[in-house]
Structure 1
Amino acid sequence: MQRTLPGPCPLCASTSGTRTDDAWYCGLCGWRYGDAPDPELPLPRVDVVYYIRFDRRVKIGTSRRPRQRLSSIRHHEVLAFEQGGHALEQQRHREFAALREGGEWFTYTGEVRTHVAELRRAGDPWSLYARWFSTALRG
């Protein structure tokens, strides 16, 4: 059962969690509440392929720092993330080549909408990223 954490999760800032016999765990990213990443170790790299919408177009790009990257790109909506780097991004560009409008921008119709809908079934993009990051940090 989800309950309120004693304070926000230090990784994703969620306030919901679950309590086990020995500890609290974030309900969003799974991080054990009270643990802190070792500041002397480098943060893990979690590459994502992102799908952002601007009007009737969607940009399919990749980043290892999606918040920073997406803050520099004009868009209306973050549609989805999938875990992967340049190879997956290039694969998606080939899959949707017929819909390419230029660069990494594609017409947001048909195949792309269906693909984004499938990705959205896995969850909210930022929640997924928080979970992937937490898993990589624990790993």
Structure 2
Amino acid sequence: MNAPLPSPCLLCGASRGERVARRWHCAVCGWRVGDVPDPELPLPRVEVVYYLRFAERVKIGTSSQPRMRLAAIRHEKLLAFERGGRGLERARHAQFAHLREGGEWFTADAALLAHAQALASGADPWDAYARWFSEALRERSA
């Protein structure tokens, strides 16, 4: 059951959480409240393929620093993230090659938009990224 966290999540800033095994966990990213990432270790790289919409086009690109990357690209809406790097990006470019307008931009047709919508599954793409980042931190610490 979601409830207000005692304090905002250290990783993603969410304010809602759930009790798991008598400990608070963030409802968005799953990070255990009170845990602090080891400051001496580098942060994990979480590569994503992103789908950005601008007018009637969609950009399919990849980044391991999506906040910085998306801030540098003119777009109207972030449609989805998909966990993966260059290989997955190339696969998506091949999958939607018939829609390519140039570079990494594709016509926003029904099939491409349905693919992005299925990836997002109605949730905020940034929530998915926060979960993947949290998982990567936990795996590194294990």
User: TM bucket by the smaller chain?
Assistant: over 0.9
Partner of 1:32: 32
Q: Which consecutive aligned stretches of 4+ in structure 1 deviate over 3 angstroms post-superposition?
A: none
Q: CA RMSD in A?
A: 1.1
Aligned equivalent of 2:78: 78
- Inter-CA distance 137–122: structure 2 relative to 1 (3 Å threshold): farther
Shift of 1:20: 3.8
Using the TM superposition, give the Cα deviation of residue 21 of structure 1 relative to its aligned residue in structure 2, in angstroms. 5.0
TM-score, with normalisation over the residues of structure 2? 0.94
User: 2:99 corresponds to which letter in structure 1?
Assistant: L
Measured in 1, the distance between the counterparts of 2:82 and 2:122 equals 9
Give me the whole-angstrom Cα distance separating, in 1, the residues matched to 2:117 and 2:9.
28
Distance 1:78 1:61 in 2: 12
Paired position in structure 1 for 2:63? 63
Deviations 1:24-68 (A, max 9, x none): 110100000011100000111100000000000000000001011
Identity %: 59
Match of 1:115 in 2: 115
**Structure 2, unaligned stretches of length 5 or more?**
none
TM-score by length of 1: 0.96
Residues 100 and 5 of structure 1: is their aligned pair in 2 closer, same or farther, counting only changes over 3 Å?
same
* C-alpha distance 97-39 of structure 1, shift in aligned 2 (>3 A): same
Q: Quick one: distance in 1 between partners of 2:110 and 2:3?
A: 40
